Amino acid sequence: MKKIGGEWYFLSAVMMIYVVILFVDHDFFSRSIRFFLNVFWQILPIFVLVFALMVVANIFINQKVITKYFKKPGIKKWVFVIVAGILSTGPIYLWYPLLAELRDKGVGHGFLATFLYNRAIKIPLLPVAIFYFGLKYILVLTLMMVVFSVFQGLLINRLVSTKNRCNGV
């Protein structure tokens, strides 16, 4: 039997709240549904674009590619780590084992932190972000996040010694 994901429990719980509200305050229910439909129809077309970008990312970016380029020297490594972080997909915890392996092979903690920071920039989701906040704001924010990811990498390299490699340190 197929396991039901937590996301469906979440949606069911919210829908239950709506069912209760429908009986308690019909007017409040109607206003909320109208607001929901208005927002939902606005963002629905953007989901098609999000899907297309996800397909492209899934074809070209995988853990093998990331591991290969993590070994580049000097400034190239920083550039690669930033790009790899931005392009990497999937839940963050799936990347932890690979990052632990890279750390054990001598990749500095700072590079791992920069990689993780740049994972916050989600190219497939940018159309939605632009829809809500505008292109100018998203460009400024993305640039700021890339710059600060390097600051964080440099800071983490100083704060966390390469000796602290074993689990739980």
Asked if residue 117 binds other proteins (CB under 8 A), the reply is: yes
Residue (76 or 90) nearer to other proteins, CB: 90
Place of tokens 């899907």: 51
The region of 51-59, 63-71, 72-80 touching other proteins under the rule CB under 8 A is 51-59
Shortest Cβ distance from residue 74 to other proteins (Å)? 23
Give the C-alpha separation, 21 to 151, whole Å.
48
H-type helices in 5-134, by residue range?
Answer: 6-24, 26-60, 63-69, 74-87, 96-104, 109-118, 126-133
Q: Find out whether 78 and 153 touch, Cβ atoms under 8 Å.
A: yes
Half-sphere exposure of 168 (CA within 13 A, CB side): 0
By CB under 8 A, tell whether 19 contacts other proteins: no
Q: Name the residue among 92, 77, 94 with its Cα closest to residue 157.
A: 77
Binding stretches for other proteins (CB under 8 A):
5, 7-8, 10-11, 13-15, 17-18, 21, 28, 31-33, 35-36, 39-40, 43, 47, 50-51, 54-56, 58-59, 89, 92-93, 96-97, 99-100, 103, 109, 112-113, 116-117, 119-120, 122, 125, 128-129, 132-133, 136-137, 140-141, 144-145, 148, 151-152, 155-156, 159-160, 164-169
